[in-house]
Amino acid sequence: MNLLSTFLFTAYYFALMYVGFKIGRRSTHRAKLSRRSAKVQDFLLYGLLFFLAYRLGTDQEVVSGLATLGYQGALFAGATLILMFALGLALSKLLKVKNPL
Amino acid sequence: MKVLKVLGFLVLGWGSAMFLPSSWSTVINFSLDFYFFKLGLVEIFLSLIMIWIGIDLGLMDYLGEKIKRVSPQFLWFFVLNIAVSLFAGILVAWILGLPIIHGLALNSGLGWYSFTSSYLSQFSAPLGALAFIANVLRELIPIVLMPLLPKNFPLFVAMNIPGSPSMDTNLPTLVQKYRHLPLAPIYIIFNGILLSFAGALLVGLFSLGL
């Protein structure tokens, strides 16, 4: 993994989005696609979560690491998440940011 | 209800890994190796989600006009994310009595566990494992907690909580959370791309001190 990989990885997902964008733009069934969008995204999300958890659960490095390094990792992740949440909200109030419509 | 479903599928996946015969994992964890990444079932689902998000954007009316309204304000939150990640890395390393540079290196991955752990394990296997767990948790905890946030929670904060996974594994939960904001996918993906590049640069930079 290096910067080139990062670039290619990003380009791959951009290309897929572009394909989807073209499908959406040219579709003659726009109303039908819109109606089904939430259900399809739900299905894809749950499939992704299932296989992600399965992959992590079968990874010996993760399973054995959870017992020994778990609390240290949780501390790093927890501190980052709490600080990002709190300082993000503070910055949001400071800049008076509203959600973009 | 949503959070229960998310948790349920995570538990089901993890439980299947524990209880299904190991021969199944060869099938379920299959992957095609390309130069820049592995394409397994997770990536296939992710790819389908990216296509579907593209379709959603394509179905949007007056998209060009909406893009012109993108606010550069989100960049402040991108900078804050990097500052917070580095500060938390220093703070926790200090609390745990670890070398500060270790905290900086593993937290500068900004949630990108595959890159950070594989990169840092070249220098130290335990550091690579710790980077893996810390970044995996940073990715997974927001997936579970995102549906619990109020509907009017600031998008720029929510999309920075998971770090760079906001543009991949966390993207569907974020997009669903902000379904009422047509521009949300554009902000989330652009921010995620910036975070991924910044993460790769920072991990490389801090690993020089290991």
Per-residue tens of pLDDT for chain A, all 101 residues: 566 766 677 678 778 888 998 998 888 888 888 888 878 888 888 888 888 788 878 888 778 777 778 899 999 999 999 999 999 999 999 999 888 76
Contact between chains at B16 and A97 (C-beta distance less than 8 A): no
What tens digit of pLDDT does each residue of A13-29 get?
Answer: 778 888 998 998 888 88
What tens digit of pLDDT does each residue of B193-205 get?
Answer: 788 878 888 988 8
- Per-residue model confidence (pLDDT) at position B123: 83
Residue B59 near residue A27 (C-beta atoms within 8 A): yes
B1 — pLDDT class (breaks 50, 70, 90): low
Return residues 31-90 of B near A (CB < 8 Å): 35-37, 40-42, 45-60, 69-71, 73, 76-77, 80-81, 84-85, 87-89
- Per-residue model confidence (pLDDT) at position B53: 79
Q: Is ipTM > 0.85 here? A: no
Instruction: Residue B204: list chain A partners with CB under 8 A.
Output: 3
The CA angle B108-A72-B89, to the nearest 5 degrees, is 25
Taking one residue from A and the other from B, the number of pairs with CB-CB distance under 8 angstroms is 289
Interface test with A, best of B51, B62, B119, B146 (most A CBs within 10 A): B51
The secondary element (H helix, E strand) that includes residue A77 is helix A60-94
Contact between chains at B42 and A51 (C-beta distance less than 8 A): yes
**Mean of all residue pLDDT scores within chain A:** 84
